[in-house]
Amino acid sequence: MTEHYQLFVATDARELWSRIETAADRFFELARAVPPDLQLKGSAWTTRDVVGHLLTVIRRYTHGATLGETPRDVDRINDEELAALGSVACAELLDQLERELKLTREFFAPDGLDLHMRVSFHGGAQIDFAAALSNIIGELLIHGLDVARAAGRPWPLDERDALLILNGVVQILPAYAVRDTDRSLRVRLSVPGARPWLLSFDRGQLTSAPANSDDTADVVVRVPASTLALTVYSRLSTPAALRGGLRVVGGRRPWRIVRLPRLVERP
């Protein structure tokens, strides 16, 4: 039996691995169907670079990770690990990625996996293993979206996948809080299918935790999971997020929502 788990959402290891495998199948089908040198929109990366990046991310689960102290350290690490792959062809990188995903599943098989187990993440964050697995879903689907957009192909983000991705995001987000600021902001998130959540920014520190019924908030935001996930990953602009259902629906100082982009580092 797999352990039941609940934080932002309820899930178990079997569901997480099923979602990872489905996301991987989608990504492999797409990546093998488009040119390896296809340039991403607004990026220097190609399809091959995306595949290489995903390979380096999954290797961190099986070979250990070098962790960055800041978001820009993470960028540096990503660039260095991608460069270290040299000139290996995209098809071979895809084969290696497929093998590493299988190895990761063997290491962290769903039967008996403790999703509450804590692991270190970038920026000094501590996340549970449900977040670590949902990070794989996010990497496959968000970077798959980048390739699909470059190829002019549809790439819908399922709401359940988005909820699982956000279960990791709410744990990782404190590492991406802008540290050099004296501003504060309390944002309550209302996401269908998830627990109410409170993001409390206080002079460079972010506390991310379930919201209590008596918690006060400057801003209350109601938003579909897919819209929030894509906005957090900078794949939706503010106008697009509004078209996707993001709404400010309350709070003591709802106009302070304009502070939010200046309190979170770009992922």
List pLDDT tens digits, range 9-19: 999 999 999 99
pLDDT of residue 134: 98
Q: What superfamily would CATH give domain 4-173?
A: dinb family like domain (1.20.120.450)
What residue has token string 């549970």?
128
Any idea where the domains of the chain sit in the sequence?
Answer: 4-173, 177-263
What mean pLDDT is predicted for residues 213-221? 95
What mean pLDDT is predicted for residues 99-107? 97
- Indicate the pTM of the whole model: 0.96
pLDDT, tens digit, 9 for 90 and up, residues 144-164: 999 999 999 999 999 999 999
Q: Among the CATH numbers 3.30.1050.10, 3.20.20.120, 1.20.1250.20, 3.40.50.300, which is that of 177-263?
A: 3.30.1050.10
Structural tokens at position 111: 């039967």
Q: What is the length of the chain?
A: 267
Structural tokens at position 128: 């549970």
Confidence of residue 1 (pLDDT cuts 50, 70, 90): very low
d(CA 84, CA 53): 11
**Pairing mode of beta strands 184-190, 219-222:** parallel
Residue 2 has pLDDT above 80, yes or no: no
Question: What is the overall mean pLDDT for the chain?
Answer: 96
pLDDT of residue 3: 62
Structural tokens at position 230: 């894509």
pLDDT, tens digit, 9 for 90 and up, residues 33-43: 999 999 999 99
Residue 176 has pLDDT above 50, yes or no: yes
d(CA 59, CA 133): 13
Sequence-separated (6 or more) residues with CB below 8 Å from residue 3: 12, 13, 112, 113, 114, 115, 116
Residue 55 has pLDDT above 50, yes or no: yes
pLDDT, tens digit, 9 for 90 and up, residues 118-132: 999 998 899 999 999
Confidence of residue 168 (pLDDT cuts 50, 70, 90): very high
What mean pLDDT is predicted for residues 191-208? 97
Residue 114 has pLDDT above 60, yes or no: yes
